[in-house]
Amino acid sequence: MCGVCGIVSWGEAPDLPLLRRMMNRLGHRGPDGNGFYRDRHAALGHTRLAIIDTSHGAQPLCNEDGTVWVTFNGEIFNYVELRDELRRCGHAFRTASDTEVIVHAWEEWGTGCFSRFNGQWALALWDRREQRLVLSRDRLGVRPLFFVRRSTGLLFASEVKSIFADRSVPRAFDPVGLDQIFTYWSPIAPRTVFRDIEQLEPGYFAILDREGFRKAPYWGITFPPQGQEIRQDFQENAETLRERIVEAARLRFLRSDVPVGAYLSGGIDSSITAAVIARYTNAPLQTFSVRFSDSEFDEGQYQKKMSAVLGTQHEDIVVSPSDIAGVFPEVIQHAESPILRAAPAPLFLLSKLVRDNGYKVVVTGEGADEVLAGYDIFREARVRLFWSRDPGSAKRTRAAELLYPWMARSPGRVPAFARSFFGRHLDPGDPAFSHRPRWDSTSVISSMLSGDLRSEIDGASGDDILSAMPPGNEDWDPLSRAQWLEMTTLLPGYILASQGDRMLMANSVEGRFPFLDRDVVDFAGTLPANHKLFGLEEKYILKHAFADLVPDDIIYRPKQPYRAPDAMSFFTPDCPAWFGEVMSERSLESAGVFEPSVVAGLLAKCERTGGENMSNTDNMRLLAVVSTQLTYESLILEKRYGPLERPISDPSVAVDLVTDDRTV
């Protein structure tokens, strides 16, 4: 995994010092080397985290005659099979890297190459003869790719801060992008929270040439019509799912020339990936976990148990609320986005632990909850549907207790809660039936927005996520629609970004996700909904498929969503000085996002309780303000909370056709 950046200019030759500044800002993504290519119209930059073919495979890398160049972040896990196929087509390879497969695959199949890749990538290809730039991003958005379009060309990079190395790029929030975070938890691609900065949609490629800029999907999330799923045999499906997950985990563990570790959260997903690696490979396994000093969030006993069962070498880090506050500015500088939970901060500390132990690749369980229906939002939707069939029924009302066991201790509150939480947005034909309650509860953040920003949002044309749903979705099972929404919003925009790639790459660690393997995702999409969510049993087929590899008390334990202390992290006696500064009236007015008087009321409320026992909504509101303020200060004002640039070494690839210098 690496950092990529580049410039296309139809006027003057791309500015090489600018490219170097852009690369400097991606030093954390690729500390093992760097390189660049420049001709009259394009410049490609690369910072390398060397994982496959560490001695060769430096980038940018070209085809045999130097007419196609690529800068690539990620992994193509089926590169061995593709290389064999391309060799049979007559292509000659100079390295053993997956990067070289990309240029030959492009030559052989054009834009058809992307659907053949099984991996996680963000890449840019420059075709010198055609004077054409091609950008591409993996199916589900594991790797980031941002760009800004200009009349004279385009700038692209793995991270926004790299694009901001160009001082002529305006720095401002996009009001609609902010509003989307304060509703959906993430901006909806191609929008970002920064004005004029776009992100390439997952599963898309884009082309820029003299004819202009255009883009198209090469893959999309889809499901069969309800009742017409071709695979109905549960046992057979469980066996196939297991085969695919085993193969996906093996590929991600074995296709690396450096040691690969694994995360163990204590939940079923990472337990399965670690167990598969332990069972199906011969290599010793090193596992890593994050724990919490607060027992409410800690899953240490399950992590320890799983590690003991698998016989792994295990390291963990115990995170306190003060630790979260201490690193939070750096976390936001890497996330480059407001976030509504503090949960990414412990993962930032965890990837540091991984790196300090000499590892730079980890396999994790991300994606299982989306692909195989593990989240509470799916169970909630099923209960709401059940309840909506007869809202007056006292028995149906009790279904809420199945979601929230605390209700059993307060039976008198159940009917009122059910009416308030479940009793709205009950149109089963609504494609967003599952997500309306979340969007409603999140959008209370909007009540804190400044009048000016509110006016800008109201005056802007928003994006209609529902209109982007594939044709025929009205025939899908309600669970499939909910999965589509989750895989289009929260997964790429938060789980894989602010909580994934950015927290890993901040410490130069690559994450690999077997549950997001092409063959696993495609297969899971064909399954009947009740194989995934069976009644209210989440990830039912997954539990069934791996019941022999994971202890019962982990596989059948009630799901504990990964959470970290939120508001309480910022109201400890040793809270860092930055908190008071970014939350001051002056800073709030400068950023112009939130109404200072409303924020003052929220802060007073938190101070009264030390940030403890806050409601879910107030925790979310506080995190929204803190993280937005830090995004403003660190990205727009470029106030530094950590090293913004990591000076990179001399390039191992330096091809400058403008001055005709070449070092490869």
Partner 1 sequence: MNREVVEQVLRDYYALRRPDTDPELEAVRVAILLEDVFKIRLSDAEIDAAVLTEVSSVAGLVARLRGDS
- Give contact residues for partner 1 (rule: CB under 8 A): 234, 382-383, 386, 389-390, 393-396, 398-399, 401-402, 408, 530, 534-537, 540, 543-544, 556
Measured CA to CA, the distance from residue 606 to residue 543 in angstroms comes to 40
CB 411 → partner 1: shortest distance, Å?
A: 10
CB 536 → partner 1: shortest distance, Å?
A: 6
Helix (H, G, I), strand (E, B) or coil at 74: strand
Between residues 223 and 297, which has the closer beta carbon with respect to partner 1? 223
Measured CA to CA, the distance from residue 263 to residue 277 in angstroms comes to 12
Between residues 123 and 399, which has the closer beta carbon with respect to partner 1? 399
CB 278 → partner 1: shortest distance, Å?
A: 24
CB 303 → partner 1: shortest distance, Å?
A: 23
Half-sphere exposure of 128 toward its Cβ, with a 13 Å CA cutoff?
A: 16
CB 407 → partner 1: shortest distance, Å?
A: 10
Between residues 10 and 234, which has the closer beta carbon with respect to partner 1? 234
Smallest Cα–Cα separation from 615: which of 561, 562, 568? 568
Alpha helices in 110-148 (DSSP H): none
CB 304 → partner 1: shortest distance, Å?
A: 24
Name the DSSP letter for residue 470. Answer: P
Location of structure tokens 């207790």: 401
Between residues 147 and 433, which has the closer beta carbon with respect to partner 1? 433
Evaluated on CA atoms 151, 152, 157, 161, the torsion sign reads negative
Between residues 149 and 398, which has the closer beta carbon with respect to partner 1? 398
Between residues 283 and 408, which has the closer beta carbon with respect to partner 1? 408
Between residues 397 and 499, which has the closer beta carbon with respect to partner 1? 397
Between residues 308 and 408, which has the closer beta carbon with respect to partner 1? 408
CB 402 → partner 1: shortest distance, Å?
A: 6
Measured CA to CA, the distance from residue 358 to residue 507 in angstroms comes to 11
CB 515 → partner 1: shortest distance, Å?
A: 20
Measured CA to CA, the distance from residue 18 to residue 150 in angstroms comes to 16
Partners of 406 in the β-ladder: none
Between residues 170 and 556, which has the closer beta carbon with respect to partner 1? 556
Between residues 396 and 605, which has the closer beta carbon with respect to partner 1? 396
- Residue 60 Cα distances to 245, 425, 651, angstroms: 32, 51, 11
Name 34's Cβ contacts closer than 8 Å, sequence gap at least 6. Answer: 23, 27, 45, 46, 47, 48, 648, 649, 651, 652, 653
Alpha helices in 412-517 (DSSP H): 414-417, 436-442, 451-459, 478-488, 490, 502-505
CB 541 → partner 1: shortest distance, Å?
A: 10
Between residues 93 and 234, which has the closer beta carbon with respect to partner 1? 234
CB 227 → partner 1: shortest distance, Å?
A: 8
135: amino acid identity, one letter = L
Q: Provide DSSP, 169-194.
A: S---B-HHHHHHHHHHSSPPTT--SB
CB 367 within 8 A of CB 221: no
CB 479 → partner 1: shortest distance, Å?
A: 9
Between residues 473 and 530, which has the closer beta carbon with respect to partner 1? 530
Between residues 334 and 382, which has the closer beta carbon with respect to partner 1? 382
Between residues 122 and 533, which has the closer beta carbon with respect to partner 1? 533
CB 63 → partner 1: shortest distance, Å?
A: 53
Name 185's Cβ contacts closer than 8 Å, sequence gap at least 6. Answer: 340, 442, 489, 490, 493, 494
CB 232 within 8 A of CB 528: yes
> Would you tell me the crossing angle of helices 518-526 and 234-254 to the nearest 10 degrees?
170
Sheet of 119-127: strands edge to edge?
A: 61-62, 68-76, 119-127, 132-137, 204-209, 212-217
CB 543 → partner 1: shortest distance, Å?
A: 7
Evaluated on CA atoms 151, 152, 153, 157, the torsion sign reads negative
- Residue 563 Cα distances to 72, 450, 616, angstroms: 33, 29, 12
Name 244's Cβ contacts closer than 8 Å, sequence gap at least 6. Answer: 517, 519, 520, 523
CB 476 → partner 1: shortest distance, Å?
A: 14
Helix (H, G, I), strand (E, B) or coil at 51: coil
CB 634 within 8 A of CB 641: yes
Smallest Cα–Cα separation from 120: which of 83, 84, 158? 158
